[in-house]
Chain A
């Protein structure tokens, strides 16, 4: 059948930020859907958001309450959400209690009650909350199946998009006829992970259109349910063509080592042990971008934005003014129970808001710690998705990562993520002539040639400053314990490190 011969299924906004993306652009009109999950998982709130997003006085929503949460208490709590618009009641949204019919009569009478109200109101949306309590009374399988079948047929014929809400356990999926009849099945879960609670949403079934598979995290805030798609809201976004532009650090010697800077859209990893200047380098990268008219975002996890900006000022870098001018956002992401998808949502929001070209994640260790324990297990996979998504829209990412200093190895990251990064700059301490000095080397650049030099650097009140020429007089520099080529001892006077920017 050609495209023009196919019936067009309209997609209705779900009213839940992020969920339209997950369901493939919106909820199919006239679909018969189940929202299932344990008590407290957000089922009623999700249904309310859909109702408030779609109900009008001309095509209202009918919200049938049955046993369980009383309508008065439900409205008492639901009106606390920002999406709740009291002006929609009672013309656009009508609440009808069916508990008496359910308690005193059979399913046939319940169906008659629903039919009567639907025929009277001509609703665009029908919700039954909780459907589970409606069908809990003992009845034959055939009676139940017939009731569900007739209800689904009737509501679809009356051009209503329907949600049945129920407290179902996952092992009921197999035998319950309601799941067979349903066009859409939304499963909400909340699971404790050590001291954190993680909420996840799964579209188990959605007829008529592609939804994003998998478990999507969601959060319930004063704005209601907010879902975070595993595709980060970038479904359908074409990957930006590769750029040949180079982005500088503003450190001339380092930029030369990088062949003129990192390629736009690259993912750069700056790895080093504590105090080697990773954050200083990252701050200089962002500041240089702002100087060149490239807005930036810094995602910090270990310190507050104010402290980050104050530390930058000790290097002569002004991060306050660009923040006021909308050229820089320093995101402090709430620690302890984040999901990567939620973090990505915050970052993408900021990217879109200020048109950011550069992003610093400082640091990956802090990022990992801010995640709920369950998400830490998937950290590597999540980073892959995040980096792929962000670089795909042309953002250049610089991540800092702390590595344990070893005198037998030269690791690039504790996360085995070097394959995810285009460019790696490694910082490390070396013991030279009785001093603990710092060296820097560009390990890889996917986009072209780079210097192979090992360069010594210092952190001064101007930031990272690369000293002199490459170190040619020593063997085994990357071991951290080099040997002077001519075997001679120290020839230099003791020198003092300025100590600026040591917190990395």
Chain B
């Protein structure tokens, strides 16, 4: 089963925002890592490190079923992700798959949150880490409601 389109759309918005938000992601290495780290920080406070680590590991496992190259990535004990930067560089070189790995990993993580606590609370949590306009439908590429 693939990541839900609306979760991919939401993930894409977050990635697009980080990519467009100046050079803020540069120390991290990629917009995906930047989004992931913001989620980690926000969710660790909420569910604890162990809670986030479990969710992230599950999300990575699900994402691997769609993007094989993510099999090299792993979630560490503190919930951070390793090996994603190298994979994204590799994926970028393949123009047909550009950005998919990051989109799908984030979409899977958001999808898990939605499954457990519902869309309203998921968006509430995201709003504490990103500005409101990111979730505005007018900014959505395909107009889908997140």
Residues of A near any B CB (own CB < 8 A): 65, 70-73, 75-76, 79, 86-87, 89-91, 95-100
Minimum CB–CB distance from A65 to chain B (whole Å) comes to 8
Contact partner, A90, options B48, B49, B124, Cβ 8 Å: B124
Question: In the complex, A90 Cα to B50 Cα: how many Å?
Answer: 21
Question: In the complex, A70 Cα to B125 Cα: how many Å?
Answer: 16
Contact partner, B121, options A65, A79, A98, A100, Cβ 8 Å: A79
Minimum CB–CB distance from B131 to chain A (whole Å) comes to 14
Q: Tell me whether A72 and B45 are in contact in the complex, defined as CB-CB below 8 angstroms, given that A89-B121, A89-B125 are known contacts.
A: no
Question: In the complex, A75 Cα to B127 Cα: how many Å?
Answer: 17
A97 and B44 form a contact (CB under 8 A): yes
B121 and A75 form a contact (CB under 8 A): yes
Given contacts A86-B118, A90-B124, list 4 more A-B pairs with CB under 8 A: A90-B125, A97-B48, A97-B51, A99-B51
Residue of B55, B113, B118 ringed by the most chain A CB atoms within 10 A: B118
Return chain A residues, CB-CB under 8 Å to B48. Answer: 65, 70-71, 97-100
Residue of A72, A86, A96 ringed by the most chain B CB atoms within 10 A: A72
Interface magnitude class on chain B: 10 to 19
B127 and A72 form a contact (CB under 8 A): no
10 CB contacts below 8 A, A to B, read A70-B47, A71-B48, A72-B47, A72-B55, A72-B113, A72-B117, A73-B116, A75-B117, A90-B125, A99-B49
Return chain B residues, CB-CB under 8 Å to A71. Answer: 46-48, 51
Q: Tell me whether A95 and B46 are in contact in the complex, defined as CB-CB below 8 angstroms, given that A72-B51, A75-B117 are known contacts.
A: yes
A86 and B121 form a contact (CB under 8 A): yes
Whether B93 is near chain A, meaning CB under 8 Å from some CB there, is: no
Describe B's contact surface by its main secondary structure.
helix
Return chain A residues, CB-CB under 8 Å to B113. Answer: 72
Minimum CB–CB distance from A197 to chain B (whole Å) comes to 28
A-B pairs, top 4 by smallest CB distance, nearest first, are A97-B48, A86-B120, A89-B124, A99-B48
Return chain A residues, CB-CB under 8 Å to B121. Answer: 75, 79, 86, 89
Whether B128 is near chain A, meaning CB under 8 Å from some CB there, is: yes
A70 and B51 form a contact (CB under 8 A): yes
Q: Tell me whether A96 and B50 are in contact in the complex, defined as CB-CB below 8 angstroms, given that A86-B124, A89-B124 are known contacts.
A: no
Residue of B45, B117, B120 ringed by the most chain A CB atoms within 10 A: B117
B125 and A76 form a contact (CB under 8 A): no
Segment 100-132 of B: residues with Cβ below 8 Å from A: 113, 116-118, 120-121, 124-125, 127-128
Question: In the complex, A101 Cα to B51 Cα: how many Å?
Answer: 14
B127 and A90 form a contact (CB under 8 A): yes
A80, closest chain B residue (CB) = B118
Minimum CB–CB distance from A69 to chain B (whole Å) comes to 11
Return chain A residues, CB-CB under 8 Å to B50. Answer: 99-100
B117 and A76 form a contact (CB under 8 A): yes
Give a binary string over B25-62; 1 marks a CB under 8 Å from any A CB, 0 the rest: 00000000000000000001111111100010000000
Return chain B residues, CB-CB under 8 Å to A75. Answer: 116-117, 121
B128 and A90 form a contact (CB under 8 A): yes
Question: In the complex, A91 Cα to B127 Cα: how many Å?
Answer: 10
Question: In the complex, A330 Cα to B118 Cα: how many Å?
Answer: 39
B50, closest chain A residue (CB) = A99
Q: Tell me whether A97 and B116 are in contact in the complex, defined as CB-CB below 8 angstroms, given that A71-B51, A89-B121, A90-B128 are known contacts.
A: no
A100 and B118 form a contact (CB under 8 A): no
A72 and B124 form a contact (CB under 8 A): no
A97 and B45 form a contact (CB under 8 A): yes
Q: Tell me whether A79 and B117 are in contact in the complex, defined as CB-CB below 8 angstroms, given that A86-B124, A90-B125 are known contacts.
A: yes
Residue of A86, A91, A98, A99 ringed by the most chain B CB atoms within 10 A: A86
